[in-house]
Each structure stands twice: as structure tokens, then as C-alpha cells.
Chains A and B, each alone.
Chain A
Amino acid sequence: MKHQNLAVSIRGLCKSFGPVAANKDLSLDVRWGEILALLGENGSGKSTLVNMLSGLYLPDAGSIAVDGEPVYIRTPADSFRLGIGVIHQHFKLVDVMTALENIILGLPKKSRKSKKAHEKAVSELCDRYGLHVDLHKKVYNMSVGEKQTVEILKVLYRGARILILDEPTAVLTPQEIDRLFDILRKMRDGGKAIIIITHKLNEVMAVSDRVTVLRKGETAGTVETASTTASQLAAFMVGREINLDIERVEPKNLSERLNVVNLTCVTEDGRKALDNVSFTLNGGEILGVAGVAGSGQKELCEAIAGLYPVKGGAILYKNVVDGIEISENIVGKTPREIFQKGIAMAFIPEDRLGMGLVARMDIAENMMLKSYNDTKSLFVDRKKPTEMAKTLIERLDIAAPGVNTQVSRLSGGNVQKVLLGREISSDPTILISAYPVRGLDIHSSYTIYRLLNEQKQKGVAVLFIGEDLDVLLALCDRIMVLCGGKCVGIVDAKTAKKEEIGLMMIGEGGGAYA
């Protein structure tokens, strides 16, 4: 009788995509009135599980029971009816509508009542759980945290009793995360069952009652949060002991490599994506960039790489031509022109398979993406890229059957190794990396940190756009904080505090320059 009041009970769930078993024999329980953390690396089957609970996928085998009753969740509507509410990582809100309109959108006919009545009911809900949001604010005017609150309200108002949050903290500042956790605790105390999906260990420790760890689609085990530690969980998640410390090499022989002056970029709809951003990037250091998602990180990287139109300002590259050091403005130059100037710039874009690599080509073909045109011949030379692919597979320990494996068939970590490997092979002097460890498992992430440190030691100027503040603080030498396209300040990573950066990310504090 130990499992009284089970909210969701999953037994032996299996789901395969072709040869890939995303979930195999996955079992877990969630009780009413508890927060269960679902911990697992990318590719461990967390999202697949969520998609099955929300009615987007059908399991191949196994069973799901809600409140002790076996159920088949065939559509998202079924999922709603069962009281399951999913807050997806990417919000599903209508931008031009207000919070309230989004919340009551698509409610069943029988609950049709006046907007006023809805507003009253939603406000009551807000009070009960301590949610703060202006119900008449349009979604496009909202911060990420506010949007998430609306998403939570949306599922609560539909009567969700079981809440599933898919990586809810990925885009929040430390302060917003604390607020979210308070709300979750209140909902738990109100008797709801909450599943929070994450791969951040400190958050698991902070908020959950129990942890179920997934590894390669299987349940590796379930533990009480109070009786475990972060490093134990990490070992559980990876399957062996690992060292969670990130090495920071002392920077040596710093020399100015890139000088960005008053850089301003405007989006297609006339918004300033970058507003007067100025900073210098030195050879031999890692400059981190922190900020809430969409603060101009993408535009900054692409502007430097020659892929985003620049409205004003300059990007000066310190180049040595015939032994004389000169500053060249690379604004307005295409990637090819920058390359032809002899500037060896490596760029790891955020969208690896949509920009950095060609998903449907094999590893060898991806090797020649930037160099295929170096020869005069009419035909492509496949010999050199094939050799290069072989070397990389060996050197970076890429798990691939061979050089002719399609990149789209590789796991996230291996995709990133192919991309980073190719970029490093070009002996760059600048390395721009946008979220290089996003979606990577712990082991691959540490390989990437090691490779970035290697480049730094070689004197390469590394720009590191990150989202995990702990990682930024541990890996980088200096951290620039962006907020709404403006540079709020640059801090010394060795002395900066997480809370301080968190405040700067929402535009408060700052002014500090290191």
C-alpha cells in the first residue's frame, strides 16, 4: 500500500523512431502533492515521454495510468481531459493577444461565459498561487518570465491537476527561476502533481521532492532528493563517476584581436537587435556573453561573421599584413570577403544543422562546406575532406559508423564535435561560438569546454555565448551581459556573482567594466 494516491503511473513504456529507441521500458510514478524532477541528459528520452503524455506521440508498448485508471492518450484533447497540462519549452502563445485572451482561447463551449467572469476566475487563480501577471498586457510586450506565467495560468485554468514543465528554466534569469520555484511549491502544497524536466542538477536539488533519472531511454532509478547529492545524481545520469569542475586556464599574452565599436543592428521589423554595443575581444581569452534569450546574442554573432546587416558602428579586426599591424573594418563584408582578407574566423552558429552543417550530407561532404571552392577545378575534391573527416572522427572520438554517415543521424554531441572540429581545423584566430553546449550531454559538454580552452591557450580569441550562468562563470575570463540589445556591462568572471549578473540581465545594476 505504499503507493497510495498515485497521480500518474507509467509502466514499461516504449517508443522507437526507426532504429532509435527513444524510450525503452520506461517506468515512473508521480504522486499527488509532490514535485518529481525528471532528470536526464539530452537524448535520454525526456521529451519523447512528454510528447506521449501530451498526446502527440503514441507509445509502441507499455501503459500509462492516471489516477489508477489505464488510459490511452491519443490526442492533446485527451490529455487535457485527463487533467494533464504541459508547459512546453517553446511557448505556444498568440503574440498579438492579451494574457487573458490567450488563457481563455480554445476553452470548451460549455465553459463559455463573459470575459469579465473569466477575468475574475483567472485573478482568483493568480492569487491562490501567487502568480503575478497583467492580464491585459499583450504577449508581444512580455518578458520570457511573464510569458511562462501565462502558460502556467493557461493550463491551470483548464483544470490541470498534473503539470509537466519541459525545461522551464532554460530561458529565465536566476531571480525568475526562484520565483517559478516558489509558485511550483505552492501548487504542490495545493495537491497538484508536478513533473519538472531538466538537466540542471542544482535546480533538481532546489525544488524537487523525488528525482527519477533517465538514461538512454530507460529509468535508471528514482531517489528521494533529500537523500542524494548533485554529484551522485550526475553519476546516476551518466552511468559513472564524473568530475563536474570546469577548468579555467590563466589567460596569457593577451592581445587585442577584435574591437567592436558602437555596433547597431536593426531587425526586419525595425526593432534594434543590437544597440550601440562596444567591446574588445582579445586573443588568448574567452569572453562570455550572458543574457536572456533574444537579447541580441544571435545578431551579435552573425554581424561579426558577416551574416547580419549592420546599421551603424564598426567591427575592427587587428590584422597583420606584410608585417604591419592594421585595423580593418569588416562591416558590410560577406563571409567570403572576410575570408579572402586573410581573416581566419571560425563560427559555431546556434543552429548547427540549419546553418553550420548540411544535415542531409555526410561528414566528409560537410568538411568541405567552407573550403570546397579553394581549388581552381570545376569539380569538387572529395579526397581531402574525407581524410579530414577520418582524422576528426579519430581525434575527437566522434561516434559515427564512418565518414559517409549523414550528419543528421548523429547525436547532438557528435554533431557539435563535427562542426567545432571543422572550424578548429581551419586554424582560426577568432572563434565565435553560440550556445556550443546547448543540448549536449555532460561528457560532450566537457569535451567542448576542453577544446575551447585549447584554442584559448593557442592564442585564439574566443567569444562564448552561453545560457548557463554557472558554466559562464567557471569557463570564461570576462563576461559581457546583454539586455535588450544593449551591453549592460562587462564583469570579471573570477569575482562576479551570479545574482549580480542576473540583475544585469534584466537591465538593472551594471555599468561595471572589467
Chain B
Amino acid sequence: MRKANGKNEPLFRLVKLDSPSWKRGLAQRALALLLAMVCGALLLLVLRKNPVAVYWQMIVGSVGTKVALTNTIRMAIPLLITTLGITVAFKLRYWNIGGEGQVCLGAIAATYFALNFVGKVPSWLLFVIMFAAGALLGGLWAAIPAYFKAKFNTNETLFTLMLNYVAVYIIQYLREGPWMDPQQTGFPQIPRFPMEARLPKVLGVHVGWIIALVLVVLVYVYLRKTKHGYEIAVVGESMDTARYAGMDVKKIILRTIFISGALCGVAGMVQVSGADFTLTETVAGGVGFTAITVAWLAKLNPALILVVSFLFSMLEKGANSIQTVFNISNAAADVLTGIILFFMLGCEFFIRYRVVFRKKKQARDLETAITAAVPAAAQPESVPTQPEQEAKEGAECSR
């Protein structure tokens, strides 16, 4: 490489594509999936498993049976709602890495009412209160870094990330302190929710899925059709433009991030009251981070988020099921999902760029036509094309 300085064309270069066609994109994604599966197969062969059977089990284990499908959907619900929340913030170019913490705070608020208000209010009202409280606390939690961002232009990435840990420790404190279940001996736990505080089921899955679908529509409309959505888009593109247009940038940041946190809070409420029926430190379970990947893969489009978050849950559920059926270790299953994600995310680059390799020396010389670079013997029969003629002229000059 070193000696090639200024003398050689590089091996390849990247060319940005104009407007990538969706057909090409689809084909490339399919190819990426295929390559991922081939790579994964190598891993599985080393583990002495039949790759075809394992892949088949991933599908059957995630959507093949009613029980599996129900579980997959149950996993997708909090991911979907959290991604919607993250998306609202990302549209503003506010990097909310604190989805995890906001989910926790939403869950804490909902748990408080689930543990203390059963029997005091009708069940439907209890759900409304839990929902509102989850949204409110999640939103307020997110508003803390947003306030500092708007006021002092602090870095929201670090701030929101750190608050995640605070949120988890709040739950730990509650579990070991004020909310500890007195009937449990041994490992301290928060009591399980009474039946009245558990979300009812519709078609086999708790109503969280209906809430999630409604939120998809609402977020879509909010971002695309309302003035608020327009403001978010403008501020996200350029704060200077927003100020120029007379927008109150600070207010928009606070309002938008409150909504973002509130959505995450709702995800927490739905999770405790629909799936977990109690509050644990793992209530968010990494959903706040996965949501970031989902949001980008879905290009911040609410409709695509619905699809991508379901596919993500399929992958996770499928990985779980091969662990039990094929006795594959947890770590190996994670490597397998990692491989698939790596290829799927990596192929996004190739959808936007094209790689052009260096032409073969002969072809290049013909085309570029410079001075002495054309060895006379290389193309004895070539017709003198225009560039070649120029080359000859050039050669003369250099003498």
C-alpha cells in the first residue's frame, strides 16, 4: 500500500446511489438474510446441530403455534410502544437513550396505583388512572434532561443514559423497602397485582396490543399531520430555522420529549399490568435500547415500526425456543441473533451505496489514455480511438 502513493488507482471506491429503488432494497435485504443464515449455519455446524432444523424451529417457535404467536406478540407490545416514544424524540434529533428508565418510571407509577387503589375505584377507572400516571411519570422523567438541554444545552445522550440506572435503583429500593411484600419470605419482592389491576385479554393477548395499535395511528397522525409534528420536523432539521420561523424552540423540546417519555411510560404500565403482574428491575428488559435499533431500521416511520418490532420479537422468541428444543446455550443463541442483526443492519449501507472496483489494468489504460502508460505491446490490434490519439499527443509532449 505504502509504495503505491499517487501511482495507483485504489482497489475500490464508494458511489452514493441517487434514489435507491425499493425492489433493489428488498433483494439486497433478502440476500443479507441469506448470507446471515449461511454464516449462522457455520456456527450451528460447529455446534453439531442441523442448521435447517434450527432455522425452521426459530420460525415455528415464534409464530408456528398459537401459544408461540401469543408470546411473540406479548414481547412485541412494549417494544413497539417504546419505539414510538423514541421515534418522537429522534424526529427532533434529540437522542433519547433513556427509554429504559422512562419505561421503569411508567411501571412504578402504574404499580403504585395497582397496589393501593384496588377496590377503592372501579376497575376501568383504575386502568385509566394507571395509564395516566404511567404516562405522566415517564414524561416527567424524560423532561428532566430535556429541561437542561433546552436551558443549558447539556448533552442529552449522557444525561438520559445515566437516568436509566437511577430508575433501576429506584425499583430496587422500592422492592427492598417500602413496597416489599411482607408475605414473601426470603428474596424480597414487590407483591403481585390483584386481578382487578391486571389488563384483560382480547383474543388471547392482553389489551396492550390494542393500545399499541391505537398509538401507532396516533403517533403517525401527530408527526405527519399536526402543527406540532411540523414544528418537531423543523426543529429537528435546524434550530436556527425554527427560531427564524418564530418557533419557541425550548417549549417544543420540552413538550416533545415529555410526549416521548410518556409513551415509554405507557409501555411500562402495559408491561407490569398486562404481562408481569408485578414490578421488577427487569421490567424494561433492554427494550429501551432495542427500540433505538428498531426506530432506525424502520426509518422513524410508525407503520414500519409496527412491522420491524414484530420481526424483532420473532427473532428473540425464536432464539429462546431453539435454546429449549435443541439445547443450544443462551450465548450461542445470542451469537446467532447477533449475526442476523449484523447482516441486516450492514446491508442498509449497501442499499445506499454502490461499490465500484478498480478496472482491470488493460481496460483502464484504454479508457484513461495517458502518456506512456499504454504499453505498445499490450494492445497490438487496437484501433486508434480518440483517447488513444490524445495519449499519443500527450506522449509527445512529455518528451
By the criterion CB–CB under 8 Å, are A58 and B6 in contact?
A: no
Contact in complex: A11, B7 (CB < 8 Å): no
Residue of B nearest to A9 (CB): B394
Q: What number of A-B contacts does a CB cutoff of 8 Å give? A: 125
**Cβ contacts under 8 Å, A360 to chain B:** 237
- Spell out A's residues near B (CB within 8 Å): 1, 3-4, 6, 9, 11-12, 16-19, 58, 60-63, 65, 68-74, 77-78, 81-82, 305, 307, 334-336, 339, 347, 349, 351, 354-361, 365, 368-370, 372-373, 377-380
Known A63-B370, A71-B6; contact A354-B243, beta-carbon cutoff 8 A? no
B154 within 8 A of partner (CB): no
Output the least CB separation between A8 and chain B (Å). Answer: 12
The yes or no answer to B185 lying at the interface (CB within 8 A) is no
B contact residues around A369 at 8 Å (CB): 234, 241, 244-245
Whether B151 is near chain A, meaning CB under 8 Å from some CB there, is: no
B245 near A361: Cβ-Cβ < 8 Å? no
- Interface pairs (27), CB distance under 8 Å: A1-B397, A11-B394, A16-B15, A18-B19, A19-B19, A58-B13, A61-B368, A62-B368, A65-B370, A68-B397, A68-B398, A70-B373, A81-B6, A305-B244, A336-B248, A339-B246, A355-B244, A357-B241, A358-B233, A358-B241, A359-B238, A365-B230, A368-B230, A372-B245, A373-B246, A379-B226, A380-B229
- Supposing A358-B237, A372-B227 touch, asked if A72 and B244 sit within 8 A by C-beta, the answer is no
Quick check: B246 and A336 within 8 Å, CB to CB? yes
CB distance from B230 to the nearest CB of A (A): 5
Determine whether B369 belongs to the interface, using a CB cutoff of 8 Å to chain A.
Answer: yes
Indicate which residue in A17, A70, A372 contacts B368 across the interface (CB closer than 8 Å).
Answer: A70
Give chain B interface residues in 339-358, CB to chain A under 8 Å: 356
- CA–CA, A18 to B20, complex, Å? 10
With a CB–CB cut-off of 8 A, which chain B residues contact A19? 18-19
Q: How far is the CB of B20 from chain A (nearest CB, A)?
A: 10
Query: Which chain B positions have C-beta within 8 A of A373?
Result: 227, 246
Determine whether the beta carbon of A61 is less than 8 Å from that of B241: no
Q: Does B338 contact A (CB under 8 A)?
A: no
Complex contacts, A11 vs chain B, CB 8 Å: 368-370, 387, 390, 394
Q: Are A82 and B394 in contact (CB under 8 A)?
A: no
A339–B394 CA distance with the chains assembled, in angstroms: 65
Chain A's closest residue to B225 (CB) is A379
Q: How far is the CB of A32 from chain B (nearest CB, A)?
A: 12
A82 to B240, CA, bound (A): 42
CA distance A360 to B368 in the complex (A): 37
Residue in A335, A358, A359 whose Cβ sees the most chain B Cβ within 10 Å: A358
By Cβ-Cβ distance, the 8 closest A-B pairs, closest first, are A68-B398, A336-B246, A18-B18, A70-B370, A78-B6, A335-B246, A63-B368, A19-B18
Question: With A and B bound together, what is the CA distance between A163 and B226 in angstroms?
Answer: 54
Residues of A within 8 A of B240 (CB): 351, 354-355
Judge if B10 is at the interface, Cβ distance under 8 Å. yes
- What are the residues of chain A within 8 A of B8 when measuring CB–CB? 72
Does B9 reach chain A (CB closer than 8 Å)? yes
Interface pair A380/B244, CB less than 8 Å apart: no
Min Cβ gap B232→A in Å is 12
Q: Which chain A positions have C-beta within 8 A of B241?
A: 354-358, 369
B244 to A307, Cβ gap below 8 A?
yes
Interface digits, B369-390 against A, CB 8 Å rule (1 contact, 0 not)? 1110100000000000001001
Contacts of B238 in A (CB 8 A): 354-355, 358-359
Q: A65 to B371, Cβ gap below 8 A?
A: yes
Q: Once the chains are docked, how many angstroms separate the CA of A298 from the CA of B227?
A: 30
On whether the beta carbons of A72 and B225 are closer than 8 Å, the reply is: no
Contacts A18-B16, A61-B367, A81-B5; A372 near B237 (Cβ below 8 A): no
- A356→B244 contact, CB < 8 A: yes
User: Least Cβ distance of B45 to chain A in Å?
Assistant: 41
Q: How far is the CB of A20 from chain B (nearest CB, A)?
A: 8
Determine if A72 and B10 form an interchain contact, defined as CB atoms under 8 angstroms apart. yes
Contact of A361 among B233, B390, B397 (CB under 8 A): B233
What A residues does B398 contact at CB under 8 A? Answer: 68-69
Q: How many whole Å from B227's CB to the nearest CB in chain A?
A: 5
Roughly how many angstroms separate A368 CA and B245 CA in the complex, as a whole number?
9
Q: Which residues of B contact A65 (CB under 8 A)?
A: 370-371, 394
Interfacial chain A residues near B19, Cβ < 8 Å: 18-19
Determine if A82 and B387 form an interchain contact, defined as CB atoms under 8 angstroms apart.
no
**In the complex, A152→B356 CA distance in Å?**
36
User: How far apart are the CA atoms of A361 and B229 in the complex, in Å?
Assistant: 13
Give complex CA distance A69, B241 in Å.
49
The CA-CA distance from A370 to B244 in the complex, in Å, is: 8
The answer, yes or no, to whether B303 is at the interface (CB within 8 Å) is no
> Are A4 and B6 interface neighbours, CB within 8 A?
no
A63 & B369 in contact (Cβ 8 Å cutoff): yes
A73 to B9, CA, bound (A): 8
Please give, as numbers and ranges, the residues of chain A lying within 8 Å of B371 by CB-CB distance. 65, 68-70
Check: B195 CB closer than 8 A to any chain A CB.
no
0/1 string, B36-54, CB within 8 A of A gives 1: 0000000000000000000
